[in-house]
Amino acid sequence: MPIKKFPEFTYMRIPHKEMVDKYLKEVQPKASELTFANMFIWRRTRPLQISMLDDMLIIREMSPLGELSYYPPITDKGPRKSILDLIEATVDDNEKFTIDSITQPLAGRLKKIGFNIQPDRDNWDYVYRASNLGDPNSSKHANRNQLIKNVMEKYGDRCRYADMDKELANECLELKEWREDVGWNLGRLKLIEEPYAIMESLNHFSELGLIGGVMYVDDKLSGFVIGERIRDDMVIVQSEKVNQKRPGLHQYLNMEFVSRLPDEVKWLNMEQDLGDPGLKMAMSRYEPDHYIEKYILRIGE
């Protein structure tokens, strides 16, 4: 499917996946947002468009609050030059916008030459060692492992895990428990939008090349996990939803999913805490190995 040339834009569609994936594979960006699947599933709540500027793939979105933002251009040319080219192509329109998901060392280079670079702590990715999360006997996460053992002792063979496929993804659409009401708080706006993104993941599970698993308790579907392998050594977990009335099931589902990943997958990227105190506490409790720090460049402010 053709893509318009900058400054015109095309709305992202499934037929664009092959081309977008080709660009992403060449540069292997670190930020979890920069995968085709991630961008596609959020496109309805945050209209996302793509364009070609010379040999650069340009991606932009409009937030529900009307804020325009770009991702760093996807190209094999130097990252600093590509951002400078994007800025030069847009400032003539006197636009007010941001460039998000800038990682180090690019953020430091841009700040050094005078750009308004600000840390985006709420969107740092939490990265864990897969070997720790996939082992119920790991000494790294004692509290988590105890919850897993409690589930194994309580339910035993009554718990059954299965790798997700298109058929099971459709079954997960009927699981009502994950569509919880998180409240209309603008600080948690992405959490409010999350059910729509999850439905897109499930509806297009095979087309997006996603991976995942489902958990049954007493033959009743009680949870699922959806992820994406973005590099040979890393998997991103896009969503995990379980029956909250069963303590420890979340941790058990995660362990079963991670333990089945290929040996070459060393890292599990659990995405961001979005500034939500509860998420931050839960994600920090399991001691991430490191973070993928992200920064925002602001133009017109």
> What is the C-alpha to C-alpha distance for residues 197 and 260, in angstroms, rounded to an integer?
25
**Predicted structure pTM score:** 0.90
In tens digits, the chain (301 residues) has pLDDT values of: 789 999 999 999 999 999 999 999 888 888 999 999 999 998 887 889 999 999 999 999 987 777 889 999 999 888 889 999 999 888 766 678 999 999 999 999 999 999 999 999 999 999 999 998 988 877 677 888 888 999 999 998 999 999 999 999 999 988 766 665 444 343 454 556 788 889 999 999 999 999 999 999 999 999 999 999 988 899 999 999 988 888 899 999 999 999 999 999 999 999 999 888 988 998 998 889 999 999 999 987 6
Q: Copy the structure tokens of residue 122.
A: 């709420």
CB count, 10 Å around CB of 287? 13
- Structural domains of the chain in order of their starting residue, each with its CATH number: 10-124 (3.40.630.30), 125-271 (3.40.630.30)
Task: Answer whether 11's CB lies under 8 Å from 47's CB.
Answer: yes
With H, G, I as helix, E, B as strand and everything else as coil, classify residue 44.
coil
